[in-house]
């Protein structure tokens, strides 16, 4: 028997960082994101030998341990280990023996929500195998708790909900720790135009998002006026982008991204650096009207809005000057999917 799952990665289009506590607890946050055709995959093969085997073919790594009710959360497969511990503790109350194989279409630290999406994919595979009673909100919330509380990894909440629900979503993070996911009914031609004009560029660098996020947390906790006001503006950006997408004002997206990028850089140190600034300015000089670093910042993917036919000039300018590469994608409508063979 094979149990499989896949969950989509996402582009954080607006409001990034306002889903992170304590900002969301104090002021409420708002995010607009969209899932794309890059995925985190998981396969579980049940075993009967009392062992657990963790495998990552793309990394060329494998770890084996004894099947116990709780296992050590260390090593390369810390996310899978964390999911296993929570599933056993909350649902099975007995050890499980299996082989789990995972793969992600984008490198860790690339800014597309890879870690959280992988947690959702792994949790989804366990839910499929064990027939766990988890709806979409339950799945996303549990994935968030595993990563942020059980494993104590710094970050926000948007990635788990994006991977679970899929599509274009305007998400609200309320002061009472509630999350409301509002799916957006964006006309297909607007989605197609956005996908055509939004150029996704991998800088061939990665970053540890937790360091940047801790800086944002510290600034909000210390009530740093400049940082908090920048977060307020990012929340406003999410509302602005939602309105433009729904009414089909797609060419306004570049200006909205540029607005958000200027404020994002004020929330914490390390969000940008001379190389990223050079890439950004090169894209704008070639015809892009705005852009940003995907995720927390510091490296990974960037994306740029290129009106008309300017994406070809922007792509050429970036490829001529830098070592990164343009990544093709489409927007997706579905979130987590699981099945059994």
Q: The CATH number of the domain where 303 resides is what?
A: 3.30.70.890
Residues 181 and 199 in one domain: no
Residues 314 and 207 in one domain: yes
pLDDT value of position 52: 98
Mean pLDDT over residues 95-110, rounded?
Answer: 94
Residues 17 and 154 in one domain: yes
Residues 196 and 172 in one domain: no
Note whether residue 90 is domain-resident.
yes
> Rounded to whole angstroms, how far apart are CA atoms 135 and 285?
46
pLDDT value of position 250: 97
Any idea which residue has 């852009």 for tokens? Answer: 291
Annotated catalytic residue within 74, 150, 159, 249: 159
* pTM (2 d.p.): 0.95
pLDDT value of position 207: 65
Residues 72 and 153 in one domain: yes
Q: Which of 159, 185, 211 is the last residue of a domain?
A: 185
Confidence of residue 337 (pLDDT cuts 50, 70, 90): very high
Q: Which of 185, 214, 245 is the last residue of a domain?
A: 185
Mean pLDDT over residues 24-40, rounded?
Answer: 96
| Catalytic (active site) residue 159 | yes
- Expressed as residue numbers, the domain containing 285 is 188-327
Q: Which of 153, 185, 217 is the last residue of a domain?
A: 185
Residues 234 and 321 in one domain: yes
Residues 151 and 200 in one domain: no
What secondary structure letter does DSSP report for 287? T
pLDDT value of position 177: 85
Residues 134 and 211 in one domain: no
Residues 71 and 177 in one domain: yes
pLDDT tens figures, 246-282? 999 999 999 999 999 999 999 988 889 999 999 999 9
Note whether residue 278 is domain-resident.
yes
Number of structural domains, the chain? 2
Residues 211 and 251 in one domain: yes
Cβ count near 300 (within 10 Å): 25
Which of 53-57, 162-166, 176-180, 294-298 is predicted with the least confidence, judged by mean pLDDT?
Answer: 294-298
Residues 46 and 150 in one domain: yes
Residues 104 and 35 in one domain: yes
């Amino acid at each position: 028997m094979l149990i499989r799952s896949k969950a989509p990665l996402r582009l954080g289009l607006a409001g990034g960082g306002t889903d992170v506590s304590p900002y969301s607890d104090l002021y409420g946050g708002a995010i607009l994101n969209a899932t794309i055709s890059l995925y985190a995959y998981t396969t579980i093969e049940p075993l009967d030998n009392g062992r657990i085997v963790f495998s990552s073919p793309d990394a060329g790594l494998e770890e084996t341990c004894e099947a116990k009710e709780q296992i050590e959360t260390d090593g390369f497969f810390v996310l899978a280990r964390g999911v296993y511990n929570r599933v056993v503790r909350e649902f099975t109350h007995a050890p499980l023996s299996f082989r789990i194989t995972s793969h992600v279409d984008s490198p860790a630290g690339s800014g597309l929500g890879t870690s959280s999406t992988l947690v959702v994919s792994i949790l989804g595979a366990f839910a499929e195998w064990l027939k766990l009673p988890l709806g979409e909100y339950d799945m996303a919330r549990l994935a968030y708790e595993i990563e942020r509380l059980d494993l104590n990894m710094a970050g926000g909440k948007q990635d788990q909900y994006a991977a679970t629900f899929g599509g274009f979503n305007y998400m609200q993070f309320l002061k009472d720790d509630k999350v409301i996911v509002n799916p957006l009914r964006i006309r297909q031609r607007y989605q197609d135009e956005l996908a055509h004009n939004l150029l996704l560029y991998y800088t061939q660098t990665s970053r540890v998002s937790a360091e940047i996020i801790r800086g944002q947390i510290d600034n909000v906790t210390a009530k740093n006026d400049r940082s908090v006001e920048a977060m307020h503006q990012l929340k406003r950006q999410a509302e602005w982008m939602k309105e433009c997408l729904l009414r089909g004002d797609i060419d306004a997206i570049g200006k909205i991204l540029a607005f958000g990028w200027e404020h994002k850089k004020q929330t914490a140190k390390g969000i940008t650096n001379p190389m990223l600034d050079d890439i950004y300015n090169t894209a704008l000089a070639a015809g892009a009207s705005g852009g940003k670093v995907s995720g927390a910042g510091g490296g990974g993917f960037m994306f740029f809005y290129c009106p008309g036919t300017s994406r070809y000039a922007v792509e050429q300018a970036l490829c001529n000057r830098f070592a990164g590469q343009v990544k093709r994608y489409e927007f997706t409508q579905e979130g987590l999917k699981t099945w059994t063979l």
